[in-house]
């Protein structure tokens, strides 16, 4: 809401704070929705992924918090669908904020009367062709792929296996499919969704795996599954990926060959080449899933700031290959003491 100021600002009613006593993040979620809301209708329709990114929380947390706000009478949620080339698909929900306490009891009934009008909406943006990263034999965009059609990326399977073990990872994948299908969820990126679910479950202590009480020390270490083969052909990746700049390819080629680096190379190309060097050990799929979207920020106070990608993606790289990426960046000629993932 704005009051004759160049920039809008958000204020919330005092009764929100009383009803949400002890739930500061829920109040932050309401304020975030308020910043998106239409000034006259008090409605907005940001995606749960966008809300999660702003608040630094997972999508499952946002979904659960919205349910609580609805139950407390602070918010009305209306599911929406859009017409696609192949039928109908769910899209981001519409949220109506309840600013007056007297309106909280009747808001749900009023919105139900308008549900038929609100539910069917046109796509907000024209169809966009996206690369078929999930390797699904279909012409549908990622947002139109159902959970039954979705095939997880190799890097996603590896992440589940590393976190839970082979069999437990398969069971987790099955439970994810079943729950998404049962509740009618639709995600634009199922790989990102399942990893955010995993991250949320790990924080809640729901993914602890049993460890054998006896055995040699080496048996407790994670081992690669027999028969699994990681694609580490970075040269082929550079030859086929048009998004990798020519300067980055020159720097990466020198790193891979152990030869002198071109002195005129930019810091950005050196950082990208370092990510490709990590891919020689962690695999091409790991690069495509996690490293390719990272961006180098400034080096300040001996700290190299890494941004880009998603909150989960940056956390995953930080937890799994911080040391390898640090060594690769230094080998690429970047001078710093530590990495920081923003």
**CATH (domain of 68):** 1.10.10.10
pLDDT band of residue 11 (cuts 50, 70, 90) is low
pLDDT band of residue 16 (cuts 50, 70, 90) is confident
| pLDDT greater than 70 at residue 17 | yes
CATH code of the domain containing 297: 3.30.300.180
Nearest alpha-carbon partner for 289 in 159, 186, 139: 159
183 and 84 share a domain? no
Residue 260: exposure state from Cβ atoms within 10 A (0-12, 13-18, ≥19): exposed
103 and 151 share a domain? no
63 and 112 share a domain? yes
Residue 7 in any domain: the answer is no
242 and 278 share a domain? yes
Rounded distance between C-alpha atoms, residue 142 and residue 148, angstroms: 13
Residue 40 in any domain: the answer is yes
Mean pLDDT of 181-193: 79
Domain range holding 80?
A: 14-121
- Each residue's pLDDT tens digit, 112-130: 444 333 344 333 333 333 3
307 and 336 share a domain? yes
| pLDDT greater than 90 at residue 132 | no
148 and 110 share a domain? no
Q: How many domains does the chain have?
A: 3
Provide the pLDDT for residue 21. 81
**Domain termination site, one of 87, 121, 155:** 121
171 and 250 share a domain? no
Residue 102 in any domain: the answer is yes
Question: What pTM was estimated for this model as a whole?
Answer: 0.46
Residue 177 in any domain: the answer is yes
pLDDT band of residue 9 (cuts 50, 70, 90) is low
What kind and span of H or E run contains 91?
strand 87-97
pLDDT band of residue 105 (cuts 50, 70, 90) is low
331 contacts 324 by C-beta, under 8 angstroms: no
Least confident of 127-141, 249-263, 284-298: 127-141
28 and 72 share a domain? yes
| pLDDT greater than 90 at residue 266 | yes
Residue 131 in any domain: the answer is no
93 and 168 share a domain? no
Provide the pLDDT for residue 206. 72
Residue 137 in any domain: the answer is no
Provide the pLDDT for residue 268. 93
Higher pLDDT, 90 or 339: 339
337 and 245 share a domain? yes
Least confident of 13-27, 208-222, 293-307: 208-222
105 and 146 share a domain? no
Residue 258 in any domain: the answer is yes
**Domain termination site, one of 52, 86, 121:** 121
Rounded distance between C-alpha atoms, residue 202 and residue 320, angstroms: 15
160 and 62 share a domain? no
Q: Could you tell me what percent of the chain has a pLDDT over 90?
A: 21
Least confident of 78-92, 191-205, 278-292: 78-92
**Domain termination site, one of 164, 184, 203:** 203
- The two beta strands, 303-308 and 43-44, are unpaired
Residue 151 in any domain: the answer is yes
Mean pLDDT, the chain, whole residue set:
76
Higher pLDDT, 327 or 100: 327
């Amino acid at each position: 809401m704005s009051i004759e100021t160049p920039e809008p600002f958000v204020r919330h009613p005092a009764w929100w704070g009383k009803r949400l006593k002890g739930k500061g993040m829920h109040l932050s979620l309401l304020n975030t929705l308020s910043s998106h809301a239409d000034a006259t209708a008090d409605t907005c329709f940001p995606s749960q992924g966008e809300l999660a990114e702003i608040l630094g929380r997972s999508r499952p947390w946002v979904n659960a918090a919205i349910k609580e706000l609805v139950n407390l009478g602070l918010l009305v949620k209306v599911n929406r669908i859009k017409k696609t080339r192949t039928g109908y698909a769910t899209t981001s929900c519409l949220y109506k904020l309840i600013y007056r306490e007297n309106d909280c009891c009747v808001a749900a009934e009023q919105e139900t009367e308008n549900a038929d009008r609100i539910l069917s909406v046109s796509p907000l943006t024209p169809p966009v062709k996206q690369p078929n990263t999930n390797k699904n034999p279909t012409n549908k965009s990622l947002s139109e792929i159902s959970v039954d059609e979705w095939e997880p990326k190799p890097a996603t399977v590896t992440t589940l296996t590393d976190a839970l073990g082979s069999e437990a990872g398969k069971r987790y994948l099955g439970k994810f499919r079943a729950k998404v299908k049962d509740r009618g969820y639709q995600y634009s990126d199922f790989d990102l969704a399942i990893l955010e679910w995993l991250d949320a479950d790990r924080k809640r202590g729901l993914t602890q795996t049993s460890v054998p009480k006896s055995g040699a020390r080496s048996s407790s270490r994670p081992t690669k599954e027999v028969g699994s083969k990681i694609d580490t052909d970075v040269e082929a990746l550079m030859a086929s990926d048009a998004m990798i700049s020519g300067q980055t390819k020159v720097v990466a080629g020198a790193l891979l060959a152990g030869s002198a680096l071109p002195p005129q190379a930019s810091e950005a190309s050196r950082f990208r080449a370092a990510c490709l060097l990590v891919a020689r050990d962690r695999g091409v799929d790991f690069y495509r899933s996690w490293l390719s979207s990272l961006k180098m920020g400034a080096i300040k106070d001996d700290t190299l700031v890494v941004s880009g990608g998603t909150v989960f993606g940056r956390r995953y790289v930080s937890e799994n290959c911080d040391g390898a990426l640090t060594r690769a960046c230094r080998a690429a000629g970047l001078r710093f003491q530590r990495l920081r993932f923003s």
